[in-house]
């Protein structure tokens, strides 16, 4: 299987460095432009199936790419962004200060009414197991979110959640992984050449 793992395009929350989590926000004007460039870049790629988070910012990114393809787009809550609960809508810098005060590793911290990276991993394992079974010899595009992508990369590539937390995942980035049984090979990480020279 070839997995094309994509982060959704830009929102106003991204621009303002707000912790969005599972808030259902839309793409901003720049995000719509990014989605069009992303779709243009991937239009000649043979994609057998699309999967997207059900949150608007991911779904609209996926719909833009899927316009050039006849493959079905599946929408699922399993690949929603990490739920930050009580802290959703807060500045990311303020959230990080709070986590640091708790003296708990970031990937283990569970916000009130939210999820830790370890909680997200349970969803990722369920989703990944399903697509590997269903699409063994296919090319699959998955449109999701920053934290979710990091957890998925952690699971597929066998790196720790602590290390995965540091992986760059910019808006509209593409990660490509070739999967053959239990072996996975990273082809590209955080590739944004469609929006950056």
- pLDDT single digits (tens) 126-139: 999 999 999 999 99
Radius of gyration of the CA atoms of the chain, in A = 16
In a domain, 197, yes or no: no
Q: Tens of pLDDT along 25-61?
A: 999 999 999 999 999 999 999 999 999 999 999 999 9
Tally of helices (H runs) and strands (E runs) in the chain: 7, 6
The tally of domains found in the chain comes to: 1
Burial of 176 (0-12, 13-18, 19+ CB in 10 A): middle
Q: What pTM was computed for the model? A: 0.96
- Which two tokens mark 18? 């707000």
Condensed to tens digits (0 to 9), the pLDDT of residues 76-101 reads 999 999 999 999 999 999 999 999 99
Tokens 């070739």 map to which residue?
A: 178
Does the residue 114 lie in any domain? Answer: yes
pLDDT band at residue 7, thresholds of 50, 70 and 90?
very high
What pLDDT, on a 0 to 100 scale, did the predictor assign at position 103? 87
CATH number for the domain that contains residue 163: 3.40.50.1240
Q: Report which secondary-structure segment, H or E, holds 176.
A: strand 174-180
CA distance 64 to 70: 12
Domain holding 95, by residue range, is 2-191
Catalytically active residues are: 8, 145
What strands lie across the sheet with 73-76, from one edge to the other?
A: 73-76, 49-53, 139-144, 2-7, 174-180, 183-191
Residue 85 in any domain: the answer is yes
- Determine, yes or no, domain membership for 150: yes
């Amino acid at each position: 299987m070839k997995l094309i793992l994509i982060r959704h395009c830009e929102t106003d929350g991204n621009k303002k460095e707000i912790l969005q989590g599972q808030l259902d926000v839309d793409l901003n004007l720049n995000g719509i432009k990014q989605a069009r460039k992303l779709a243009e870049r991937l239009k000649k790629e043979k994609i057998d199936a699309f999967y997207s988070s059900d949150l608007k910012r991911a779904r609209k990114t996926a719909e833009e790419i899927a316009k050039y393809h006849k493959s079905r787009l599946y929408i699922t809550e399993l690949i929603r962004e990490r739920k930050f609960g009580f802290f959703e809508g807060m500045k990311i810098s303020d959230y990080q200060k709070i986590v640091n005060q708790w003296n708990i590793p970031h990937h283990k911290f569970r916000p009130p009414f939210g999820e830790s990276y370890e909680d997200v991993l349970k969803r990722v394992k369920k989703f990944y197991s399903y697509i590997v079974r269903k699409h063994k010899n296919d090319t699959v595009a998955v449109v999701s979110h920053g934290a979710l992508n990091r957890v998925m990369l952690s699971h597929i590539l066998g790196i720790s959640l602590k290390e995965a937390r540091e992986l760059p995942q910019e808006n509209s980035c593409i990660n490509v992984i070739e999967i053959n049984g239990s072996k996975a090979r990273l082809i590209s990480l955080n590739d944004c050449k469609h929006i950056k020279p």
